[in-house]
Amino acid sequence: MKKLVVFDLDGTLAESKSALDSEMAVLLAGLLGVAKVAVISGGDWPQFEKQLVSNLPKGLAMENLILLPTCGTKFFQYDGAVWKKLYADDLSEAEKEKIVASLQCVMDEVGFRPEKTWGQIVENRGSQITFSALGQQAPLAEKEKWDPDFAKRKRMQSLLANYIPEFSVRLGGTTSIDVTKPGIDKAYGIRKLRDLLNIRIDEMIFVGDAIFPGGNDYPPKEIGVDSICVRDTHETKRVVETIITCLGS
C-alpha cells in the first residue's frame, strides 16, 4: 500500500507554465483525501503558487500536500495557516556566475539563439539555474515545436557536462535545462521526503512525463521508486483516478 504519491508538475499535472485545469484540481482534491501528495518540479516557488496552489479547491487538507520547487532543493509544507519553507539548498554567487557563463558559451557554440523570445532565457532560481530556449513565458505551441525529439537539449547537455562537470545538468519541461549542485535532483527531493515524513521509498509512487535516461524525472526511478511515465496531463488524470480507486478501497 502506497502512502505517498509524488508528481512532476509541467507536462504531468499541468501544461508547461500553465494553470492546473479544473478536472485535475478536483482529482487532486480527491487524492489528498486518501493519501499524502508531493509535487516536485524544476520551477521555483512563485511558479508553484501560480500554477498549482492558487487553482486548488478551497478547504482542502493542505497538510497532506508537500511542495518541492527547483527539483527538490526547496521544501514547503503547510502549517495550518501559511506555506512554510523547511529548507533551501542555494547555489553560491560564484557557482551561479560559472553556470550562467557556461550556458552562454554553449548557446554560442551550438547556435541555439532564437530570433524571438518571451521573457528570460536564463533564470536564477536560487538553488537552480534554468535555461529556457524561448524564454520563461513562451507560448506552449511554440515550445512544443522547438525540440520535440530532445535532440537540441541533449547536445547542449553533453557540452555543458564538459564545461561544468561539477554540477548536475538535467533536461526539464518542454524547452528547458536545469542545473543544480551535484547530486541535487529529484532523487534528492525523494530522499528528503523519506527522511522528513518517515515514509519509505517502497511506500511511494512517482508520476512524471520525463522518465528516461537524462530526463529530470528519471532519478526517482533510479533509486527504486515505483514510477509511472505519462505522455501528458490527460493520461495523468486516468492514473490519478486509478490510484484513488485503489487507495480508497
Three-state DSSP class for residue 109: helix
User: Angle CA(184)–CA(187)–CA(188) in degrees, nearest 5?
Assistant: 45
Mean pLDDT of 131-152: 91
Structure confidence at residue 76 (pLDDT)? 95
Please state the pTM of the whole predicted model: 0.81
The one-letter amino acid code at 212 reads F
For residue 122, the model assigns a pLDDT of: 94
Render pLDDT for 92-133 as a digit per residue (tens, 0 to 9).
999 999 999 999 999 999 988 888 999 999 999 888 899 999
> Residue 35 contacts by C-beta under 8 Å, 6 or more apart in sequence?
2, 3, 4, 5, 64, 243, 247
CATH of the structural domain 93-180, one choice from 3.90.230.10, 3.90.1150.10, 3.30.1240.20, 3.40.50.720 = 3.30.1240.20
C-alpha span between 99 and 240 (Å, rounded): 37
pLDDT higher than 80, residue 249: no
Task: Using DSSP, state whether 49 is helix, strand or coil.
Answer: helix
Q: Could you give the residue ranges of the DSSP H alpha helices within 41-179?
A: 45-51, 69-72, 93-110, 140-146, 151-163
Query: Per-residue pLDDT averaged across 219-230, rounded?
Result: 96
Residues in Cβ contact with 118 at an 8 Å cutoff, skipping those fewer than 6 apart: 134, 135, 136, 137, 138, 139, 142
Please report, for the chain, the start and end positions of each structural domain, with discontinuous segments joined by +.
4-89+184-248, 93-180
CATH code of the domain made up of 4-89+184-248: 3.40.50.1000
Note the pLDDT tens digit of each residue in 39-77.
999 888 999 999 999 999 887 878 999 999 988 889 999
C-alpha cell at 209: 512525463
CA distances to 36, 85, 108, 187, 230 from 203, rounded to whole Å, are 11, 24, 45, 15, 20
